[in-house]
Structure 1
């Protein structure tokens, strides 16, 4: 069955940005024919992943930790703003992504899972490999994702892809490696010995990590897709590390030392979406028992009224929180009001709650300023 291979490069047309605040227009590159076997999978979250094939809890914890440093990359290119994905490679603050994501841009914005945005600089790039390295000073000394430098792929190996398709941060897809050594060229980008995977990837997923489902370690860089999103293609990580390490040691461009979070100038709709994602990330942290990360998402006034130990104690018996619905509205003071319906599973019961949060920027970082919960019958 013939499929068209397309680079998953997502770009923003400026008029749509003004109108909708969304990165919704995509640059689709030249087509390339390839044979592939399509198997189904779908976008999901950590909660969805927990029910797949009885996945090991230690692996769930590993993936949850990895998600914190899988980022969205925004680059100004000739045709607008390109949006892709990337992941933290080392303790120098270096992010691996695709060259087609950064284009000719040198200065970029890197959006973290908690919606914090930092400046980044492209310090190395290869169109032959379609790989780029971005240095983000604010991420120096952070723990990077684990990379399996000796991974040897086999047909049928189970994999997990993480990225930000259509700007949806940290979406997860699962599948298998169902093809090896795929080689093709799309415009100036040359792809060699690619993994063909059934874990779907989509516009905006470019540059995100492909993980070995057994270990949670990075084995590839998601870079291309076929029509219908049923087949994806990933660059084996071990064939680019020599170049990446060389760029890291000898940056091709001067790097700013600025570690100040950057305010994202977005319209109302964009701010609403970012606020909803922040609340979703809050509950993802609770589900993975990372109470430190969850507490860090609260505004200073809320933290001043509830110390960390008390906050943590309130969630110790919570096994899982499912968000059944979520909506947002702009308030008169330009903050965002989030209304959600959740199921909270405790050690013995599952209860439904209506939660209301106020979200706004505090010192240029989006925070949950206050919240309340009402138990539903």
Structure 2
């Protein structure tokens, strides 16, 4: 027993000594190893952040500064964007057709004079030189690549005269072709980003890189489907005008004078576009923009927080039908929508008939009121 007892004591002392050695080894070495591992992790995290594209909001903010509204004396208008440091603005030919000088309004509301230095009679492209914008940083351009089907894009411009309007979507089709008046449109992007008259000539931007990939040029079906000219397709023509401005501009269309194709909007057009823009903003959870479209009387009765809360349970809103009509000094827009709504019972689909009244406030169209009826 004594021998066994002695052996037990010896083994216990050995185990305690070994355990102490391991404990102090871990205490002294592991923290430094953990620090090293953390440093490696942080370096990897920094590298990952550097490869992440600009945030969407930052791209929009920077891009809006370089988009202009182009107006002609007859009241027609369109959009354009600064593409080089010479003050040259790209737009559609139908926006500035048969004009030599145009009014250019910048994002900060400066009104400048632009001179048309290049225009095509069959490709819907033109360049306007604005001397006061010389030296201003221009857009990043996709000079060597085309956008692809499914790419996220941003459309900027002045639809129906509403300057600095932003819509988002995807490239929903490619290689579209058709003719409008004297212009041949070939190899076009079809886009889901809603555009309307006045967007013409504005840039189509890659939502991940901020590069211009197209020039918004045409729309159909009330702005639901838009078409954009791939920028890389027309870049050589644009650059040739910037290097050697045209001395004599060709006439476009059958008219001997005046503008043949830029847009002139009506209050009905603007009202219908605003309602569609309102729904789009709600679908993108951009409640601030949607709230900004409301008239002052509606806003005075409904706080932003209450307005936002009223739409939080709506997952998507799909516009099934729209009827627009003038009503005395206002415009009435009646829409039928299908709303995907969530509740404690789960997700359901509900149909509503919503009547909006719109009118001018300080020369701007606003949504003055809404009446909602369930169609179930």
Relative to the length of structure 2, the TM-score reads 0.51
Q: What do the CA deviations read for 1:234-285 (whole angstroms, capped 9, x no partner)?
A: 44497769999xxxxxxxxxxxxxxxxxxxxx99x92222211111111111
Residue 275 (str. 1) matches residue 271 (str. 2): yes
Q: What do the CA deviations read for 1:290-314 (whole angstroms, capped 9, x no partner)?
A: 1111111111111010011111111
**Other-structure match for 2:332:** 337
Q: How does 1:133-152 map to 2 (within 5 A)?
A: 147-149=139-141, 151-152=143-144
Root-mean-square deviation (CA, aligned residues, Å) is 5.6
Cα distance in 2 between the residues matched to 1:135 and 1:286:
40
Residue 301 (str. 1) matches residue 294 (str. 2): no
Cα distance in 1 between the residues matched to 2:228 and 2:287:
34
Cα displacement (A) at 1:365: 0.8
**Other-structure match for 1:47:** none
Residue 210 (str. 1) matches residue 209 (str. 2): no
Q: Count residues with an aligned counterpart.
A: 264
Cα displacement (A) at 1:89: 7.7
Q: 1:153 aligns with which of 124, 139, 145?
A: 145
Cα displacement (A) at 1:165: 12
What stretches of structure 2 of length at least 5 have no aligned partner?
1-52, 120-124, 177-181, 220-224, 243-262
Q: What do the CA deviations read for 1:77-106 (whole angstroms, capped 9, x no partner)?
A: 6xx55543335889xxx9753466233233
Q: How does 1:53-68 map to 2 (within 5 A)?
A: none
Question: 2:160–2:196: 8 Å Cα contact kept in structure 1?
Answer: no
Which SS does the other structure have where 1:346 is aligned?
Answer: strand
Question: 2:103–2:112: 8 Å Cα contact kept in structure 1?
Answer: yes
Question: 1:124–1:134: 8 Å Cα contact kept in structure 2?
Answer: yes
What stretches of structure 1 of length at least 5 have no aligned partner?
1-57, 113-117, 138-143, 179-186, 188-193, 245-265
Residue 126 (str. 1) matches residue 125 (str. 2): no
Residue 361 (str. 1) matches residue 360 (str. 2): yes
- The 1:243/1:360 distance shift into structure 2, 3 A limit, reads same
Cα distance in 2 between the residues matched to 1:287 and 1:336:
24
Question: 1:95–1:135: 8 Å Cα contact kept in structure 2?
Answer: no
Q: How does 1:284-323 map to 2 (within 5 A)?
A: 284-323=280-319
Question: 1:107–1:121: 8 Å Cα contact kept in structure 2?
Answer: yes
Q: How does 1:45-60 map to 2 (within 5 A)?
A: none
Which range is displaced more, 335-344 or 99-108? 99-108
**Other-structure match for 1:175:** 173
**Other-structure match for 1:86:** 80
Q: How does 1:163-202 map to 2 (within 5 A)?
A: 174-176=172-174, 196-199=187-190
Which range is displaced more, 360-369 or 269-278? 269-278
**Other-structure match for 1:375:** 374
Q: Larger Rg: 1 or 2?
A: 2
Cα displacement (A) at 1:202: 11
Which SS does the other structure have where 2:145 is aligned?
Answer: coil
Cα distance in 1 between the residues matched to 2:159 and 2:200:
11
Select the structure that is richer in helix. Answer: 2
Which SS does the other structure have where 2:320 is aligned?
Answer: strand
Question: 2:149–2:172: 8 Å Cα contact kept in structure 1?
Answer: no
Q: What do the CA deviations read for 1:1-21 (whole angstroms, capped 9, x no partner)?
A: xxxxxxxxxxxxxxxxxxxxx
Question: 1:165–1:171: 8 Å Cα contact kept in structure 2?
Answer: no
**Other-structure match for 2:5:** none
- The 1:231/1:376 distance shift into structure 2, 3 A limit, reads closer
